[in-house]
Homo-oligomer: A and B are copies of this chain.
């Protein structure tokens, strides 16, 4: 591995000059610069990022923590974060908590010290734990609200309200909500939006769960749904909704006839499901991109947005899993 010193002697300058050629080119004389760069790539020199990090006290890395990489919502989020980070010349660390709340804090803490900033997507840890992390590294939260910490939120209240309105218009006199993870801010949002909308429509509200956002959770949820005589169900997310549909079909309950099912996320899954899933669209990629931009602002000392959470809108996409209530037909 060729170092700055070798380039220096070969080019007949001091190491400092070589360093400056790479870090602040404008301060070195153009002909010297020319010579140094030429020697540098003749020797195949490239700056050692680790050494540089140590000297300047920045790593040039961003970190991203998600509950589940394979969940389409997070997959798209990750993708956007990665693109945005690269554009800013930063590399991206990724870690997954696999929805295990306990591992989360030490994991994030370990990562916090080797990155310049962190985005936590749907963290499940406690407020105080997050506060401690904020002391270590700049942090932007996604779908988690905490006073004084930058965040981008997708409250999904609009979308959920639209979903319930839609069910009400179809004549359903109640709906059940298949709740997501207990410590999820998003879950709380959805629950209260649905509950509120149900009250306004004088519809009954039932809750089942909590469920991990997995296909199998939905499968497991279906039988109790039937047993409870439900006619309309809103799932925490598409993945769960699809599990429900799958089991419902097995039980020969016709989805989009006897039972209306609504998901959340509008993942690619929703459109191709059978029947196509009515769902609430959630801008995952947008959220990721915005989070990185907030983080960059934070790093640059620009106090973006006055520290207020950035909120992103959601809306209902009606497809074929929702139909008039059997009683209303």
> Residues of A with Cβ closer than 8 Å to B?
46, 48-51, 53-54, 59, 61, 68-70, 72, 75-76, 78-79, 82-83, 86, 91-96, 98, 107, 111, 113-114, 215, 242, 245-246, 268-269, 271-276
Contact = CB atoms under 8 A, between A and B. Distances in A.
18 contacts: A48-B54, A50-B53, A50-B54, A69-B75, A70-B72, A70-B75, A70-B79, A82-B94, A83-B96, A86-B95, A91-B95, A91-B111, A94-B94, A215-B268, A245-B272, A272-B272, A272-B273, A273-B274
Contacts of A215: 268, 272
A70 B78 CA distance: 8
Contacts of A48: 54, 113
Contacts of A95: 82, 86, 91-92
A236 B95 CA distance: 30
A191 B94 CA distance: 34
A111 B271 CA distance: 36
For the complex of A and B, list the 10 residue pairs with the smallest distance between their C-beta atoms, beginning with the closest.
Answer: A274-B274, A69-B79, A70-B75, A94-B94, A75-B75, A50-B53, A49-B114, A70-B79, A50-B54, A242-B272
Contacts of A78: 69-70, 94
Contacts of A59: 50
Contact of A82 (B69, B72, B86, B242): B69
Contacts of A93: 61, 91-94
Contacts of A46: 113
B96 A94 contact: no
Contacts of A245: 272
A205 to B, nearest CB: 28
Given A48-B113, A91-B95, A268 B268 contact: no
